[in-house]
Structure 1
């Protein structure tokens, strides 16, 4: 390779993408100390505890998790709260929208955009950066899922019209910076409930429909998705039928994963569908004339209903919570749905958690056991943050 390329031999690999590598005759050892924190659920299933791990590994116990990969975490007796306020502020700075007037919804009601926009084209790289940053925000903000997916369709040739709608999303984020999800303690007999909905031919360029799915563990939202169907549906019954099959596959996977975590069998997942025709088509294969053109894989839901691995029932359109993932809603309807899916304003999150972890890592690195050296090193504010945060852990 040295003959073909101008390169230098740096010896054995010792560091790559934040991972420290040690190679010797006994083998290869890998560890991440600066770019990742080790998160463990110490339970009986793992057969280990903190004391045993400290004997086997050189590690520090930083207490309860309060910050991880941009997600702020609050843990108390009532449950766990997640939000991304600090990360959202970085996105607003990137878009130059700090201090702008907030919007009540991320999109205008019944907004329709097209690839064939005649507006002036904008910088593609800048548009990509905004969209990709916003996508990560969806991890704790299901209210943004549909709007961000919709503007992501125009990343190939974005125009000023598309960028204005992205800035509308940022304006909504400004007014909801402290919003996040709260997970209360679930009872022993926790069960999954899934909601699925679709919007027929909402894409003006391809006539494809949008599917929205949500999963609740009791009253806690644990999974959501907004995606475009791969094919064109001929009716609302067909698109709802396809959506039901799509959510059925996810429901089975989630049910099995929960059973493995709990170590016992869990209740059957119940799906909530607001289209009676789609339910009849799934439960009664006699309707051959209306379903013979549907691809075979979408009939998977019939087997699930027959063997009892999944239940499906009708729900009123006004109670269909997945509606927020399929279309842009008006202010009143949107805020109602946002509250019903469990999104709320999260307060009293530990401040400056990222700084805290850096300070703790610094103290651990120089083997100093007292925090008072931080007063000399980082100033009084850093010491106050350290003491306040440590008292809450």
Structure 2
């Protein structure tokens, strides 16, 4: 790719970009599969001929299916889902006729290893986790539930397997649910929603952090993950989560810059914890902040450079809430609608 005039992105080593005469062509590769896009038809054809001389290739035409992800187009935008994969998984696990359920994890449910629970087949448990993890590429609604059950892969018990079965029952409700990327003139605006459930793990009292990132109003990345350290206050836990969200927002801004669409506005980071926002603006803190010293200066630096802003947000509008805790089905459905998740296969 470099010999053919392409530049390898410094932010993603699998992304190659060529800008020529005001047009851009981009190629992203995963092992032996690749996707080419751009606004220069001649360059795309030249690239295809060049790669065909170097490798045995097959042109599959317009993108419809890539790594198990189905791609559909309409006037409203581009829709990504894994409907076939989800249906195959339900069939393989014998859950095709199961009773559907509204949420992937029971409201308020927390797990820990106990001594009175019955162990289950660890190999089967790990295989199911792996299959479900693959679905999370287009299903942010599964992120928190999978983050929880994956913590018990080395010592699963009956309660954990029941949680896996609940996720499959939830999957039965909308196997075709996915993400719609709609057209938006403000295409380079970056928004990050971060939230943390303080000391939520009963096993070790670590907190769970989560973030959603949006570009031009469209959801592009998300994560739900237990923190590696025990936070001594909710403000400290929230601040660690904010730092992860800032890093993700910066990475996305680097990708946009490589593509020739630099963000014209500061990254908007939404955190509903007032103490954490106050710490970010004021470095004169004491016991509450000495355990997150590096993160404090990192975020303060981005604020001073006008790369980052911390607008206020109400707790009821914090989308990342579903990445850190199990909530009611009503609130869960409301947040999924705001994330732009749809099921185009559901009859109107």
Same fold, judged at TM 0.5 (above): yes
- State the 1:47 CA deviation: 7.8
Q: Which residue pairs with 1:19 in the alignment?
A: none
What is the rounded CA distance, in whole Å, between the counterparts of 2:337 and 2:235 in structure 1?
Answer: 28
C-alpha distance in 1 between matches for 2:295 and 2:314:
27
Residue 22 of structure 2 corresponds to: none
> How far, CA to CA, are the matches of 1:173 and 1:333 in structure 2?
18
Shift of 1:148: 0.6
Gaps of 5+ in 2: 1-30
Larger Rg: 1
How far 1:125 moved relative to its partner? Answer: 0.5
Deviation, structure 1 residue 236: 1.2
TM-score, normalised to structure 2's length? 0.85
Higher alpha-carbon deviation: 46-55 or 288-297? 46-55
CA RMSD for the aligned pairs? 2.0
Separation (CA, whole Å) in 1 of partners of 2:39 and 2:216: 23
2:234 to 207, 229, 236: 236
* Structure 2 residue corresponding to 1:252, chosen from 227, 250, 253: 250
1: CA distance, partners of 2:188 / 2:263: 11
Deviations 1:184-233 (A, max 9, x none): 12215530111000001110011000001001112210110001111111
**Gap change, CA 1:115 and 1:279, over 3 Å in 2:** same
- Matched residues, number: 313
Residue 297 of structure 1, CA deviation: 4.1
The equivalent of 1:39 in structure 2 is: 35
Aligned partners of 1:245 and 1:299 also within 8 Å: no
Q: Give 1:218's aligned residue.
A: 216
Write the mapping of 1:1-393 to structure 2, written as runs, cut at 5 A: 36-44=32-40, 48-50=43-45, 53-54=48-49, 57=52, 59-187=57-185, 189-347=187-345
CA distance in 1, matches of 2:51, 2:102: 52
Indicate the residue corresponding to 2:11 in structure 1. none
Query: Would the aligned equivalents of 2:188 and 2:256 in 1 still touch at CA under 8 Å?
Result: no
C-alpha distance in 2 between matches for 1:139 and 1:169? 15
Of residues 180-189 and 200-209 in structure 1, the stretch that sits farther from structure 2 once superposed is 180-189
Summarize the Cα distance change of 1:77–1:234 in structure 2 as closer, same or farther, 3 Å threshold. same
Shift of 1:299: 3.4
**Secondary structure in 2 aligned to 1:133?**
helix
